[in-house]
Structure 1
């Protein structure tokens, strides 16, 4: 029997191989400009899609194996991937499982090894980088003792942070990425519509989430995370346990239900927030919460344009939120609050990205960025509201990709 030729499997390619090569060249150029000899780009998978984004963006690969502890020399770095991008020379992809798809993976030199850490050392020695200035991107997924293990075998190497370099490289989305993000946004809108359509008296939080998961599964998307609360707990972002919703809580008439959902389609994220009132129109107090979140988001979106800074957008969001009427309904001992995230948005792509819409961030907004603009607010005893939209920055302002004109459902 002949072995199966995986390269012959039909699979639509969303981005050309040349696009990935251009991304790799962009990182190599930035490395050279920063006087680095190479950048080691780390990504962690095994189910945490938000940490696999760098390798997905750079090489069209996602580490599938579960993250498990090292058992050197038999295995190490399981559930992780490394792309070594020299300033001069072709990149090397190091994966921890065999049988990669050469028709999909956008790096020609692929090393397959269950012992990721020692393979990184071997590749750096082979490429003459053992005494180089080496940048680390994806440092949040590179454990301290793993880096010590690698550095101990390369005592002449200099290690420098390089996350900011990757942030710059992928901040502006290519035309192909922009087209793909429109597809992602369409799936996001369908997902939230399915969830909101399941909100009814007698249904459970599990029914609402299940409707969204069903839609995503049938359209090729995957859930990253969701914070959903309702009724007396709607002022909180989530219940701080798994799952991040209460599958058995039955929705009652007049309950507020809010959620912030992050999913991904073909490696790229959507991030949306929506609010519903169960079985009736909102009360005056509930309406004030919804308006506070929604109108803050819309004010920030209206101010998006090339040249304005992320910090200016964050400061505007804080100013609009401070003037919202819902604050007057809060008791002094409970206070109104912004739940979960004190900023007003962030970049979006294969992960949550720079810039962050917070006061003081000097990053200029540029055409071609994808932004998620968001706010979640709550008052214990009344409820909570989330609103979030995803947009493309154009030369003329914001093109909202996920616009929902409904104030509530």
Structure 2
């Protein structure tokens, strides 16, 4: 397995300014081809790690200021950033924190302001984006109150959902992105490895997570979530879990239980996402059967990956294995996985999904199975190559 030095923040993997400029150029070209006069891209930070990806992809910017309600005349749109991307003029990034040197754009194309929404409207007006079709990227990120202000100030604009433009660009990773994703997956692997080792009789879920956080935090990583559960199977089986936070169950692990943890987090903007299961104490045959079933379903999906197959065909390969093993198709997440990068990326591994796999895509394949009170959980991350796949998670798979 790969070694990760967690005694200090891991060295930064650089992506060139030219690559960021080329991403903006490609987004602009696609916008022009679709008949837009420009794009307005919205991202959210605020100390969270959900939905900052489009802005980070185009500018390497993240705003750490938390979301607070607008106070008219004082501040608006805090925790949000907007990239105004005209098809026939220079772009403008509107941000709420004064860290210009961290943004991979020319300084004269960056506006730092407390009044994020008003400054975005001004930037669009200055660039002639006051009428016509404008593609909105980040529809699930922009607050309704913000959108109402934009619409009122720019009544002649036809706002059109354009999330697909960035989704398509982000689906295939550059060499620099792949390097960051590999580093993130190695860190996530070390984190879950430490957690599985800490899952012993008497430990609480929180203590197990702490063992992982002791790896993650010194390396400069951030936790996104940690799905944790333990329990017993059989006729009187029961599960132990919590949801806010997910590690807050007070009941300690005990001999004979099964345990599963699914973790995701961020290193240098890029996600890791993986899961493992293990017995607490001596393994039982029924536990191992569930653990192995989850592994087998994921491995069937990985075996189906090669350039030119569709995401749907990969999902269907995993589902066939699940049906062969006799496990229900229902669950918390019925897909077989998803792309990963600066967030949850395309393609989604669902039956019937027509997107074809190409080299440079990075995919997480996952499956949680439950039957008779026993649960198995397994997730791996792979890079699509010219000939098949390269596995980039390297945590031990079995602890039995």
TM-score, normalising length: structure 1: 0.90
The answer for the alignment partner of 2:177 in structure 1 is 177
Q: Does 1:369 align with 2:361?
A: yes
Q: What is the CA distance between 1:113 and its match in structure 2?
A: 1.3
Q: What is the CA distance between 1:338 and its match in structure 2?
A: 4.4
C-alpha deviations, 1:356-375, integer Å up to 9, x for none?
00011111111100100001
Secondary structure of residue in 2 paired with 1:177:
helix
The answer for the alignment partner of 1:55 in structure 2 is 55
Distance 1:404 1:127 in 2: 50
User: Aligned-residue CA RMSD in angstroms?
Assistant: 1.9
The answer for the alignment partner of 1:123 in structure 2 is 123
Structure 1 contact 56–62 (Cα < 8 Å) conserved? yes
The answer for the alignment partner of 1:301 in structure 2 is 302
Distance 1:339 1:46 in 2: 31
Structure 2 contact 231–239 (Cα < 8 Å) conserved? no
In the superposition, relative to structure 1, how do residues 142 and 112 fare at CA in structure 2: closer, same or farther (>3 Å)? Answer: same
In the superposition, relative to structure 1, how do residues 231 and 315 fare at CA in structure 2: closer, same or farther (>3 Å)? Answer: same
5+ long unaligned stretches in structure 2: 1-10
Q: Does 1:154 align with 2:162?
A: no
Secondary structure of residue in 1 paired with 2:365:
strand
Structure 2 contact 174–360 (Cα < 8 Å) conserved? yes
Structure 1 contact 300–317 (Cα < 8 Å) conserved? yes
Structure 1 contact 375–386 (Cα < 8 Å) conserved? yes
Q: Give the 5 Å matches for 1:8-407.
A: 12=12, 14-97=14-97, 99-108=98-107, 109-232=109-232, 239=242, 241-281=243-283, 283-325=284-326, 327=327, 336=328, 338-379=330-371, 382-404=373-395, 406-407=397-398
Distance 2:28 2:240 in 1: 40
Q: What is the CA distance between 1:407 and its match in structure 2?
A: 2.7
5+ long unaligned stretches in structure 1: 1-10, 328-335
C-alpha deviations, 1:183-222, integer Å up to 9, x for none?
1111111111111111111111111100111100111111
Q: What is the CA distance between 1:107 and its match in structure 2?
A: 4.6
Distance 1:134 1:68 in 2: 27
Secondary structure of residue in 1 paired with 2:159:
strand
In the superposition, relative to structure 1, how do residues 361 and 235 fare at CA in structure 2: closer, same or farther (>3 Å)? Answer: farther
Distance 1:321 1:222 in 2: 33
In the superposition, relative to structure 1, how do residues 237 and 88 fare at CA in structure 2: closer, same or farther (>3 Å)? Answer: farther
Structure 1 contact 46–64 (Cα < 8 Å) conserved? yes
C-alpha deviations, 1:233-269, integer Å up to 9, x for none?
9987953x31112353211011111111110000000
Q: What is the CA distance between 1:324 and its match in structure 2?
A: 1.3
Secondary structure of residue in 2 paired with 1:262:
strand
In the superposition, relative to structure 1, how do residues 13 and 276 fare at CA in structure 2: closer, same or farther (>3 Å)? Answer: closer
Secondary structure of residue in 2 paired with 1:258:
strand
Q: What is the CA distance between 1:404 and its match in structure 2?
A: 4.2
Q: What is the CA distance between 1:47 and its match in structure 2?
A: 2.6
Structure 2 contact 383–391 (Cα < 8 Å) conserved? yes
Distance 2:170 2:179 in 1: 15
Structure 1 contact 237–340 (Cα < 8 Å) conserved? no
Structure 2 contact 60–102 (Cα < 8 Å) conserved? no
Distance 2:12 2:314 in 1: 38
Distance 1:15 1:197 in 2: 35
Secondary structure of residue in 1 paired with 2:156:
coil
Structure 1 contact 131–156 (Cα < 8 Å) conserved? yes
Secondary structure of residue in 2 paired with 1:134:
strand
Structure 1 contact 230–383 (Cα < 8 Å) conserved? no
Structure 1 contact 207–247 (Cα < 8 Å) conserved? no
